[in-house]
Amino acid sequence: MNRADTAAPRPGRRRAAPLAGALGMVLMAGLIGACGDSPRLDACAWMKEPVEPAGRTVVLVDASASVRGTAAGRDYAHSVGPLLAAVAERKDTVSVGSFSGDSAQITWLAKDRSTDWATNNDNTINQRKRKQQAVGCLTGLVGKAESAVPQSGGSNVLAALTAGVSSLEATSGDRSLLVLTDGFSTTGCADLRGAAFRDTSESNAIARVCAARDETPSLTGVDLTLAGLGQPAADQPAPTAAQRTWLNTLWRKLCRAADTAAPGTSCTIAPTAIGTAGHHTPRKKPPQDPVVDYANDRPETYQLPGAALFDTNSSVVRPQALPLLNDVAVRARTTPGSRVAVFGYVDPRGRPDNNQQLSQARANAVRKVLTGLGVTRVTAHGRGLPTGCAKPAPTAAGRMTAEDRLQCDRRVDIDIIRK
Whole-angstrom distance, CA of residue 310 vs CA of residue 295: 31
Q: Are residues 325 and 250 in the same domain?
A: no
Which pTM was predicted?
A: 0.67
Per-residue model confidence (pLDDT) at position 30: 47
Give percent helix, percent strand, percent coil of the chain, each to the nearest 5.
35, 20, 45
Angle at 221 between CA 218 and CA 224, to 5 degrees: 75
In a domain, 27, yes or no: no
Q: Which residue range forms the structural domain that includes residue 333?
A: 300-417
Q: Could you tell me how many residues make up the chain?
A: 419
Tens digits of residue pLDDT in 342-382: 999 887 665 666 788 999 999 999 999 999 999 999 999 99
Q: Is 368 exposed, middle or buried (0-12, 13-18, 19+ CB in 10 A)?
A: middle
| 310 touches 318 (CB < 8 A) | yes
Per-residue model confidence (pLDDT) at position 414: 93
Q: Starting from the edge strand earliest in sequence, which strands make up the sheet with 93-99, in order? A: 107-114, 93-99, 55-62, 174-180, 222-227, 266-270
Mean pLDDT of the chain: 82
Q: Is 325 exposed, middle or buried (0-12, 13-18, 19+ CB in 10 A)?
A: buried
Is 27's pLDDT higher than 50?
A: no
In a domain, 51, yes or no: yes
Last residue within a domain, chosen from 227, 247, 278: 278
Whole-angstrom distance, CA of residue 87 vs CA of residue 91: 7
User: If you average pLDDT over residues 102-109, what whole number do you get?
Assistant: 84
In a domain, 353, yes or no: yes
Task: State the pLDDT confidence band at 402, using cuts at 50, 70 and 90.
Answer: low
Tens digits of residue pLDDT in 180-239: 999 999 999 999 988 888 788 889 999 999 998 999 988 999 999 999 999 999 888 889
Which amino acid is located at 140 in the chain? G
Is 409's pLDDT higher than 80?
A: no
What is the 3-class SS of 71-130, one letter each residue?
CEEEECCCCCHHHHHHHHHCCCEEEEEEECECCCCCEEEEEEEECCCCCCCCCHHHHHHH
In a domain, 286, yes or no: no
In a domain, 4, yes or no: no
Which amino acid is located at 20 in the chain? A
Task: State the pLDDT confidence band at 50, using cuts at 50, 70 and 90.
Answer: confident
Q: Are residues 107 and 227 in the same domain?
A: yes
Per-residue model confidence (pLDDT) at position 260: 55
Q: Which of 156, 271, 177, 180 is nearest to 219 (CA)?
A: 177
Is 44's pLDDT higher than 60?
A: yes
Whole-angstrom distance, CA of residue 296 vs CA of residue 239: 9
Total domain count, the chain: 2
For residues 20 and 94, which has the higher predicted lDDT (pLDDT)? 94
Per-residue model confidence (pLDDT) at position 157: 95
Per-residue model confidence (pLDDT) at position 289: 74
In a domain, 19, yes or no: no
Counting residues of the chain whose pLDDT is more than 70, the rounded percentage is: 79
Among 27-41, 56-70, 290-304, the range scoring the smallest mean pLDDT is 27-41
Is 77's pLDDT higher than 80?
A: yes
- Identify the bridge partners of residue 129 per DSSP, sorted by sequence position: none
Is 387's pLDDT higher than 70?
A: no
Q: Are residues 227 and 351 in the same domain?
A: no
Q: Are residues 399 and 358 in the same domain?
A: yes
Q: Are residues 311 and 213 in the same domain?
A: no
Q: Are residues 379 and 308 in the same domain?
A: yes
- 249: domain CATH number is 3.40.50
Task: State the pLDDT confidence band at 134, using cuts at 50, 70 and 90.
Answer: very high
| Angstrom distances, CA of residue 178 to CA of 5, 56, 77, 97, 161 | 86, 11, 13, 11, 9
Last residue within a domain, chosen from 244, 278, 312: 278
Whole-angstrom distance, CA of residue 323 vs CA of residue 243: 25
Per-residue model confidence (pLDDT) at position 355: 80
| 121 touches 130 (CB < 8 A) | yes
In a domain, 226, yes or no: yes
Q: Are residues 191 and 310 in the same domain?
A: no
Q: Which of 183, 179, 181, 267 is nearest to 220 (CA)?
A: 267
Q: Are residues 70 and 216 in the same domain?
A: yes
Per-residue model confidence (pLDDT) at position 385: 73
Q: What is the DSSP letter of 61?
A: E
In a domain, 191, yes or no: yes
How many Cβ atoms sit within 10 Å of the Cβ of residue 37?
7
Angle at 140 between CA 269 and CA 118, to 5 degrees: 85
Q: Are residues 92 and 197 in the same domain?
A: yes
Per-residue model confidence (pLDDT) at position 158: 94
Q: Are residues 218 and 325 in the same domain?
A: no
- 322: domain CATH number is 3.30.1330.60
Q: Are residues 333 and 272 in the same domain?
A: no
Q: Are residues 168 and 88 in the same domain?
A: yes
Per-residue model confidence (pLDDT) at position 1: 43
